[in-house]
Each structure stands twice: as structure tokens, then as C-alpha cells.
């Protein structure tokens, strides 16, 4: 004969197991396309966990460059495999134009954002504010007695022969930004890049030791003494310095180039409400304060707080750089980008 209490305990245990199994079965997965490296580490370790716990959801990163993520989203437009994506601002303009994004739902977070972070129609919104300027190998500069760079044209200085590392303008926002600033200095505009293409190879191009698809190799090339100077963001410099890499950032006198990483909710995704909820959370002061503390991601939410005096100083410095930052004409750029990419690959990197 089974004791009544034993039977009752078994029943309760069974119910608990069923409830637990049910809760587990209801756990959903959201896929977020974003740059790997520091960005992926920052959000997976410091930002997503709280949202996952509060909403019984698993957030999985699909890593890749902005171009990679855009290509994936485009290929799966009719049946999206991702729910949210992070893209560099210029690439995001293309994504919005291609109908890949849905309008962000209105919420208190949007009103707290820097005005420059809200893209047309709130189809996408900046989540990381940044800029492309110059970075340099501090150890090498000190050993050579070189002064810190002050201009984009320093990339063409003969003393940097075979010491310039340049990101491909056909694959990297950093390389494209640097090329377009060079083009402006030569008298061009985003609508007219002939001056840049006509003069790049015989100026900056002569000094380039290697064209790289992204910035991942810079750390190695600085440590081996191959890289003296290269386009990079203040955040990128901070991340390298935290790893012990001897680099510094320099704001060009002609201005840096605004580089905003924006997020959008992918249109027709399988979890529209949950994806919108994640997007809203990522724009909150709470989430962006975490991203700043964990990975030096500069917040677009003006109510975000720096958790240390050092982080506060970085924010103040960043806002100072923003005063001379240049905003590019992305409509003109995107209209001709495929043609430019082809010319770059044939004329510059051949």
C-alpha cells in the first residue's frame, strides 16, 4: 500500500517537472546580427543576460561585418532568420531603403536619445555613437621622435612608407571614411570622387603596406612593428589599449567622420513583439550604461551614466571630438557604392 503522503509528494514532483518542462519549452530564441569581437562580447556578457532572464528568452549573436549581416538579411528577406541587426550607419541606410527594417515602436527610450541617433522615420536608431579618425603606434612614434598625427594627409607622409595600414574602402567603413576625407581634401565631394581616385595611389597608396578587410589584424601589426598609422575609432583604440597594445587616437584637423552603429528590427521576423521589446531595452539608459562599462560602447541615450571617473572622462573627450566630426552624404554614397567598390578593387588594391 502506498502511503498517502508519498503519493502526494510524487504528484507534486510530477507537476513541478511538467511545469518546468513547459517553461523550458516556451523559451524562445532571438537572433541578432552584429559585428563580432568586442561588440559581441560586450552584449553577450554584459547586456543580453538581464533581458534573457526577464523575458525567458535566449539571445544568439550572428557575427559578421555590416556588409556580411546586410547580405544575410537580404538573402532571407522573404523568411528572415534574424530578428534584430546592428549595422554601420551608411549600411543601415541601404538596409532601410531595401525594406529590410520595420519602424521602431514609440517609447520613452526614443525621447532620451541624442537627436543625431534617430534615423529617418525611426526605421533604425543609433545604439553606439562613434567616429573614424586616426590611430597610431605610440611606441614606434616615441622611438622615432615623431609628433602625433594631426591631419588625414599624414597618411601620405613619406616617413610612413610601408607603415600605413588601410582598411579596404570596399569592405570597411573605416577605409571608406578615410578615402572620402582624402577625397574632400583634394576638392571632391561624396557626389564627385574623381579627385580621390585620381590621386590616392600616388599619395597615401604609396605608403600602404597592406589593405585589410577589417581592423582585426591591426593589433598584430602594431605589435610586430609593421603598422605605424591607420584609420580607427576612439573606441577601437580604447579596446586595444586595454589589451596592452601601444596605440593612441588622434583627431584630424579636418574632422573625424561620424560612425554610428544603428539597430533595426528586421521586417517580417518571426517574433515581432519580442524583437521590438529587445530593441527598446537596448536603447534604454540601463542597457547602454552596461555596454559603456563592459565594452566602451558610447551611448546614444543621453541619460546613460558612466560608472567610473575614467569612463566619464572618455565620454567628455568623445563629446569634444564630436564638435568637429563630419557627417557624410550617405544618399550620394549608396547611389554609387557598387561602382566605387569595383573601381577600388581594380585601381587601388590590384
pLDDT value of position 216: 82
pLDDT tens per residue across span 297-306: 889 998 998 8
pLDDT value of position 238: 86
216/232 same-domain check: yes
Reported in sequence order, the residue ranges of the chain that DSSP labels E, i.e. its strands, are: 28-34, 57-63, 84-88, 101-102, 125-137, 164-167, 208-212, 229-232, 247-250, 257-266
pLDDT value of position 13: 45
233/333 same-domain check: yes
* CB-count exposure of residue 37 (10 Å: 0-12, 13-18, 19+): middle
169/239 same-domain check: yes
* CB-count exposure of residue 36 (10 Å: 0-12, 13-18, 19+): middle
Q: What is the pTM of this model?
A: 0.76
146/216 same-domain check: yes
165/271 same-domain check: no
Range of the domain at 265: 27-129+259-316
Q: Tell me phi and psi for residue 215, to 5 degrees.
A: -95, 5
312/215 same-domain check: no
pLDDT tens per residue across span 69-114: 999 999 999 999 999 999 999 899 999 999 999 999 999 999 999 8
pLDDT value of position 103: 97
Rg (CA), the chain: 23
| Mean pLDDT, the chain cut into blocks of 10 residues (350 residues total) | 45 44 68 92 96 97 93 97 95 94 96 87 94 97 98 98 94 92 97 97 96 89 96 90 95 94 97 98 95 88 86 83 88 91 90
267/250 same-domain check: no
Amino acid at each position: 500500500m502506498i502511503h498517502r503522503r508519498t503519493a502526494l509528494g510524487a504528484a507534486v514532483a510530477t507537476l513541478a517537472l511538467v511545469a518546468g518542462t513547459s517553461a523550458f519549452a516556451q523559451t524562445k530564441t532571438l537572433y541578432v546580427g552584429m559585428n563580432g569581437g568586442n561588440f559581441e562580447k560586450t552584449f553577450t556578457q554584459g547586456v543580453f543576460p538581464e533581458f534573457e532572464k526577464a523575458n525567458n528568452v535566449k539571445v544568439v549573436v550572428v557575427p559578421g561585418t555590416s556588409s556580411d549581416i546586410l547580405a544575410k538579411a537580404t538573402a532571407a528577406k522573404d523568411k528572415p532568420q534574424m530578428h534584430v541587426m546592428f549595422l554601420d550607419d551608411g549600411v543601415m541606410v541601404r538596409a532601410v531603403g531595401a525594406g529590410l527594417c520595420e519602424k521602431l515602436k514609440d517609447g520613452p527610450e526614443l525621447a532620451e536619445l541624442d537627436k543625431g541617433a534617430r534615423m529617418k522615420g525611426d526605421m533604425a536608431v543609433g545604439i553606439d555613437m562613434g567616429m573614424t579618425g586616426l590611430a597610431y603606434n605610440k611606441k614606434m612614434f616615441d622611438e622615432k621622435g615623431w609628433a602625433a598625427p594631426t591631419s588625414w594627409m599624414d597618411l601620405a607622409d613619406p616617413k610612413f612608407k610601408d607603415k600605413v595600414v588601410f582598411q579596404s574602402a570596399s569592405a570597411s567603413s573605416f577605409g571608406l571614411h578615410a578615402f572620402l576625407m582624402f577625397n574632400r581634401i583634394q576638392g571632391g565631394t561624396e557626389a564627385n570622387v574623381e579627385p580621390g581616385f585620381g590621386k590616392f595611389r600616388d599619395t597615401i597608396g604609396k605608403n600602404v603596406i597592406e589593405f585589410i578587410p577589417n581592423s582585426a589584424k591591426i593589433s598584430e601589426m602594431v605589435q610586430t612593428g609593421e603598422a605605424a598609422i591607420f584609420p580607427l575609432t576612439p573606441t577601437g583604440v580604447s579596446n586595444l589599449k586595454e589589451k596592452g597594445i601601444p596605440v593612441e587616437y588622434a583627431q584630424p584637423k579636418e574632422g573625424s567622420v561620424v560612425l554610428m552603429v544603428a539597430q533595426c528590427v528586421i521586417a517580417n521576423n518571426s517574433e515581432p513583439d519580442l524583437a521590438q521589446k529587445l530593441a527598446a531595452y537596448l536603447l534604454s539608459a540601463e542597457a547602454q550604461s552596461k555596454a559603456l562599462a563592459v565594452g566602451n560602447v558610447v551611448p546614444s541615450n543621453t541619460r546613460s551614466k558612466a560608472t567610473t571617473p575614467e569612463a566619464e572622462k572618455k565620454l567628455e573627450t568623445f563629446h569634444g571630438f564630436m564638435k568637429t566630426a563630419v557627417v557624410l552624404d550617405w544618399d550620394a554614397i549608396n547611389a554609387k557604392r557598387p561602382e566605387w567598390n569595383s573601381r577600388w578593387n581594380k585601381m587601388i588594391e590590384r
